[in-house]
Homo-oligomer: A and B are copies of this chain.
Amino acid sequence: MLSHETACILNTNDVDAHVEIMIYFADREPTGPYRITVPPRRTVHQRFNDLQEPEPIPKATNYASTITSDVAIVVQHTRLDSRQSENALITTIAFAGDE
């Protein structure tokens, strides 16, 4: 089974959430930002393997990610791989934006 990582993002606001994902590695500069827009009062299940711009995320490399948004969101971050059971971590990150 391929490892696949998913971020479930919930936007309970009445405006779009402009979300940016940065990917950090052990031995190279980070890549990103990968941009996602979550409509008002909606959830998005974003598979990291589907992130293509600015570059696909390497498949066999350990990485860490940060998720930021211009409005408060809730993120549930899930990783599945062939060895480990599900690994859930919950992060809420928000910063004041330009809107």
User: Could you tell me which A residues sit within 8 Å of B by CB distance?
Assistant: 8, 10, 12, 22, 24-27, 29-30, 41-45, 62-64, 66, 74, 76, 78, 80, 84-91
Contact = CB atoms under 8 A, between A and B. Distances in A.
Contact of A42 (B22, B27, B74, B84): B27
A83 to B, nearest CB: 8
A84 B86 contact: yes
Chain A's interface: helix, strand, loop or mixed, by majority? Answer: strand
Nearest to A74: B64
27 contacts: A8-B64, A10-B64, A10-B66, A12-B24, A12-B66, A24-B41, A24-B43, A26-B42, A26-B43, A26-B45, A27-B42, A29-B41, A30-B41, A43-B62, A43-B63, A43-B64, A45-B62, A64-B74, A78-B84, A78-B87, A80-B84, A86-B86, A87-B88, A88-B88, A88-B89, A89-B90, A90-B91
